[in-house]
Structure 1
Amino acid sequence: MLFRSNPAWLSEYSGRNQLADLSQGINTADIDKSLVDSGKYKDKLYAIPLGNNATGMVFNKNAVDKLGITPPANGWTWSQYFQFGRDAKAKLEKDKYALMDATNDYTVYSSYQISQGKGYPVTEDGKFNIDKATYVAFANKYADLRKEGVVPPPDIATTDKESDAKMDLMNNDTVLMKRSFAALFPGYDGVKPGAYTLVTQPKGVQSSGFLKPSMFWSVSADSKNIEASKQFIDWFINDTEAADILTTTRGVPVSKKVLDYLTPKLTAADKLQIELIKNVAPDAQPFNPGAKGWSNYTSKDFKDIGEKIMFGKLTPEAAYDELVKKAKDYQ
């Protein structure tokens, strides 16, 4: 059986030997190696990316221009990111904020720790790897930003609903910038056409961005049509007819040749997606699809403990201890 799969499920399915090895029979020569490797588990290729995606930051360029401050630029650093927040806040109204509070955001923290050369907070083989000094420094940085009003207070920050026309804190003009993914950009542009643009995530001693498949094609290990399924996947990712049908509805095409063919037909918002992906790709970090059994830890436990810091119920040091304790339930 051929089916679409979510990158977050790869380790779960692959770890139970439920997927067929797709290393042979599908042309991946025109796909970024880091993107192809995102479909691997223990060195075997169990999933083929259907669409390309990348981490980045989306911001309201029209609002930034009106404030008269220097807009973010690709390749900027975390220090420049935090300073941009302070510069913007100095010119914003009292109930408006520059940045999102990322204390409870595993995706942002993960990118930050990677950029400091400390690896992923949870390794692909399921080992707890949150670096204490890095985590405490990150949480303290955002505590300072809360005090300065650069990020929203916790009762506002926790109401954010990503990509919602009214509840997304950037769409309702509460913040100027937030982390996002290239594939989400057309949705933001649809709410406020022409208002937003994209920039790479800030760097530390290393880059913090990574390429992420928008979704995968996988094949059941017990399928009677594995070879036919491979041919179908190959058509989806390498044929211009498939590209004309899909355009970017399942992410930016993964084949560079197909993307070159399709680009002249795309919208301005789609082209900004592609530009971000191209800017992230040269030094993209390896994609971590998530360790088997850890999805609740990264999506819920990290968030809950981070919010305790935001509401003043835990110090960063005590929160780290809580993260260590919680991790024992998953190891």
Structure 2
Amino acid sequence: MTKFSRPVTAASLAVVLGLALGACGNGGSQSAGDGNLRFSWWGSDPRHEATQKIIDIYETNNEGVTISGEFADFSGYWDRLATTTAGRDAPDVITMDEKYIMEYAGRGALTDLTELENLDLSKFPESALDLGRYEDGVYGLSTGQNAYSVMVNADLFAEAGVEIPDDSTWTWDDYYEISATISENLGEVAGTDYGALDGDLRIWLRQNGEELYSEDEPGTVGYSQENLLSWFEHLLHVRDTGGGISAAQFTEAAAGTFEAENFPTKKTAMGWYWSNQLGALRTATGDDIRILRVPSPSGNAEDNGMYYKASMYWSISSQSDDQAAAADFVDFLANDPAAAEKMLVDRGVPANPDMAAAIEPLLDESQQTVVSFLEEIEPEVSDSPKPSPIGAGTVQETIVRYVGEVLFDNLTPEEAAEQLTAEIEGMISAG
């Protein structure tokens, strides 16, 4: 669930990069096994509980099928998946993320879902299928969509005597001023956490007409050094005069769990999260958490660089010895109202419109807020970036590492921009 990821170990990274294309057998064949499946996912305790209920429903309705759940926090999840995949012991049904789906698909570790006869993709719009497409196949089925946003603690804002801004017009200068005022008025509570992940950088670059990765020149970045440099300088401004947390607080949160981060523990009044995390943040804080658009340079919401992202994906391992059973279970997850009614919007607003309609009467206030927010920003969001290229699975961790170096003044923004770009291009050109 955490928006941070602890750095993947060198060993597990080598495992991921060592996956040989085509080395993972079976492809899309409708092989039949014993009906025993393993299903992996990451997340918070509420997600684990809801997912187990979904498994229970499926097992009840499918005699002879047993599904074993395997779950972990986000960073531990990818360590384990890399190791099990390399050891030819991957789960049958795998929850995938945008950062890794091309990595695993491109190295032959996933099945092309379009080749599975008992998995119905017809209800999914092409735009949703495209988010999981690699070459001519679909290797991940979007569980739903969300958007990166600023979460604010309305109770802390009120305590600080600060009004919640109009997020359709607020600028970065407004953001800095609001954060600094809260920090000054509340003392031990900082105004904001850093937006310092790859999602934040993507938005910053999109506000300046650029992308993190080049779509025209594979193996290269899609941005200028000038705009990456300005992002690091922005983070230092947040630290020094914009009411941000300390460098130590940033790195401690990066190494911890979702529940221990600065915003959920009410050490900051603003934080950067995906829209589907609203309910979990309200549960963690017990406070009135609101969801806002990100600031823009101009004060025009159409310039804020926001985009829709597949929250996560359902994928099937090419190593699975029961492709038919795995496909049937993914079909249940994606197309059956009984599954959707337990998931609701925890994995994003369902991409299948029938499932979105099925859950609408069941949504609580937090979930309705997420749906309304995504509908509200639709006229402003631009085309979604393609999934991260092969080799880019650990770019987020790399960015976090360089942000920490800059916040601790171990590197200047200029040094960090130059070194980060070289490292990213080294990853994706080798991919």
How does the TM-score come out when normalised to structure 2? 0.66
1:261 paired with 2:353, answer no
Q: Deviations over 1:224-262 (max 9, x none)?
A: 765665555344323323323433454433222322221
Counterpart of 2:198 (choices 89, 94, 106) is: 106
Counterpart of 2:100 (choices 3, 9, 18) is: 9
Backbone CA RMSD of aligned residues: 3.0
Distance change >3 Å, CA 105–CA 52, structure 1 → 2? closer
Counterpart of 2:281 (choices 188, 202, 211) is: 188
Structural mapping, 1:79-90, within 5 Å: 80-90=171-181
Aligned equivalent of 1:145: 238
User: How many Å separate the matches in 1 of 2:322 and 2:248?
Assistant: 52
Aligned equivalent of 2:293: 200
Quick check: 140-149 or 202-211, which moved more? 202-211
User: How many Å separate the matches in 2 of 1:54 and 1:28?
Assistant: 23
1:35 and 1:211 in contact (8 A); partners too:
no
Aligned equivalent of 1:312: 409
1:53 and 1:214 in contact (8 A); partners too:
yes
User: How many Å separate the matches in 1 of 2:180 and 2:331?
Assistant: 49
Give, in angstroms, the shift of residue 87 of structure 1. Answer: 2.9
Structural mapping, 1:207-286, within 5 Å: 207-221=304-318, 230=327, 232-282=329-379, 283-286=381-384
User: How many Å separate the matches in 2 of 1:128 and 1:68?
Assistant: 43
How does the TM-score come out when normalised to structure 1? 0.84
User: How many Å separate the matches in 2 of 1:225 and 1:279?
Assistant: 42
1:133 paired with 2:226, answer yes
Q: Which runs of 5+ in 1 are unaligned?
A: none
Give, in angstroms, the shift of residue 43 of structure 1. Answer: 4.9
Aligned residue type for 1:267: D
Identity of aligned residues (%): 17
Distance change >3 Å, CA 272–CA 31, structure 1 → 2? farther
Q: Secondary structure at the match of 2:210?
A: coil
Distance change >3 Å, CA 125–CA 184, structure 1 → 2? farther
Distance change >3 Å, CA 58–CA 163, structure 1 → 2? farther
2:153 and 2:287 in contact (8 A); partners too:
no
Distance change >3 Å, CA 81–CA 246, structure 1 → 2? same
Quick check: 133-142 or 93-102, which moved more? 93-102
Report the number of matched residues: 326
User: How many Å separate the matches in 2 of 1:110 and 1:257?
Assistant: 31
Q: Deviations over 1:187-213 (max 9, x none)?
A: 211123342121223345744223333
1:237 and 1:255 in contact (8 A); partners too:
yes
User: How many Å separate the matches in 2 of 1:33 and 1:150?
Assistant: 43
Aligned residue type for 1:236: L
2:124 and 2:353 in contact (8 A); partners too:
yes
Give, in angstroms, the shift of residue 289 of structure 1. Answer: 2.6
Aligned residue type for 1:13: Y
Structural mapping, 1:16-55, within 5 Å: 16-23=107-114, 28=121, 31=124, 33-55=126-148
Aligned equivalent of 1:173: 266
Give, in angstroms, the shift of residue 327 of structure 1. Answer: 3.5
Aligned equivalent of 2:87: none
1:155 paired with 2:248, answer yes
Distance change >3 Å, CA 15–CA 142, structure 1 → 2? same
Q: Which has the higher contact order (CA 8 A, sep 6+)?
A: 1
2:102 and 2:389 in contact (8 A); partners too:
yes
The list of structure 1 runs, each at least 4 consecutive aligned residues, that deviate by more than 6 angstroms after superposition, is 222-225
Quick check: 121-130 or 259-268, which moved more? 121-130
Q: Secondary structure at the match of 2:409?
A: coil
User: How many Å separate the matches in 2 of 1:84 and 1:240?
Assistant: 41
Q: Secondary structure at the match of 1:127?
A: coil
2:181 and 2:191 in contact (8 A); partners too:
no
2:144 and 2:350 in contact (8 A); partners too:
yes
User: How many Å separate the matches in 1 of 2:425 and 2:101?
Assistant: 22
Distance change >3 Å, CA 284–CA 235, structure 1 → 2? farther
Quick check: 168-177 or 61-70, which moved more? 61-70
Give, in angstroms, the shift of residue 39 of structure 1. Answer: 0.7
Quick check: 129-138 or 28-37, which moved more? 28-37
